[in-house]
Amino acid sequence: DQQVKQNSPSLSVQEGRISILNCDYTNSMFDYFLWYKKYPAEGPTFLISISSIKDKNEDGRFTVFLNKSAKHLSLHIVPSQPGDSAVYFCAAKYNQGGKLIFGQGTELSVKP
Amino acid sequence: DSGVTQTPKHLITATGQRVTLRCSPRSGDLSVYWYQQSLDQGLQFLIQYYNGEERAKGNILERFSAQQFPDLHSELNLSSLELGDSALYFCASSVGPSLADTQYFGPGTRLTVL
């Protein structure tokens, strides 16, 4: 049972344009959501997070939007840079526990 | 560099064998987590420790065990290895187990079972 889903395995964007990565979840008990970026042969790197009581969080070029009624979140990267090319994972947490439940990842390719 | 270290980086072993993966958390972090990333299952939570005590368990096989030592480093022991145990094993650490405590991941150990 995939509780966190990233339906797009890959995304290609031109440098300077906006990248939008999407994530859907099924469990309404999730209280916290995070995005991680992963390069090959490295561990996931934390990007940005959002609490379930908010609908938007911004950090530099990265903005995460949360739509609780639709059980959907998205990561916007503006402007996209070639160095952003990586696999992006969406993850969710419950209030009581620390474990992260990950989506399958979306591979972003930013072309110069 | 996240500050989380894992050794070894690569491990090649045979079926039926036992291996130990080691993790040192970031300075000041009390919580340690282990995750497995395989091709078909993605990143899956295995187990969490907080200040030496087991706090949460995920889909961890009975052949696998872990512990967190007084100096806060952690070890993941995998025994009676099978071909399907080949995967990347990541350790992560956070200050505590609270909701907003960010988990920082190590570079991983790639385990290959032949």
Query: Given a cut of 90, is residue B61 above it in pLDDT?
Result: yes
| A70 Cβ neighbours under 8 A, 6+ residues apart | none
The predicted model gives A70-97 an average pLDDT of 93
The full DSSP string for A85-109 is -EEEEEEEEESS----EE---EEEE
Chain A residues whose beta carbon lies within 8 Å of the beta carbon of residue B99? 31-32, 51, 93, 95
What per-residue confidence (pLDDT) applies to B17? 98
Are B100 and A95 within 8 A, CB to CB? no
Mean pLDDT over all residues of chain A? 95
Query: Given a cut of 80, is residue A106 above it in pLDDT?
Result: yes
Query: Given a cut of 70, is residue A31 above it in pLDDT?
Result: yes
Residue % of chain B over a pLDDT of 70 = 100
Chain A residues whose beta carbon lies within 8 Å of the beta carbon of residue B24? none
pLDDT band at B40 (very low <50, low <70, confident <90, very high): confident
Mean pLDDT over all residues of chain B? 95
> Distance, in angstroms, between B112 CA and closest chain A CA?
14
The predicted model gives B78-101 an average pLDDT of 93
Least confident of A20-24, A94-98, B17-21, B101-105: A94-98
Integer Cα distance of A86 and A110 in angstroms: 9
CA distances from B112 to B15, B45, B69, B92, B109 (A): 10, 19, 26, 21, 10
Closest CB from A32, A44, A104 relative to B105:
A44
What per-residue confidence (pLDDT) applies to B98? 84
Query: Could you tell me which of A13, A5, A6 has the C-alpha nearest to residue A84?
Result: A13
pLDDT, one tens digit per residue, over A37-69 is: 999 889 999 999 999 999 999 999 999 999 999
Are A51 and B94 within 8 A, CB to CB? no
Query: Given a cut of 90, is residue B59 above it in pLDDT?
Result: no
What per-residue confidence (pLDDT) applies to A97? 66
Tell which of A87, A99, A104 to mutate to test the B interface (max B CBs under 10 Å): A99
Backbone angles phi, psi at B19, to 5 degrees: -135, 160
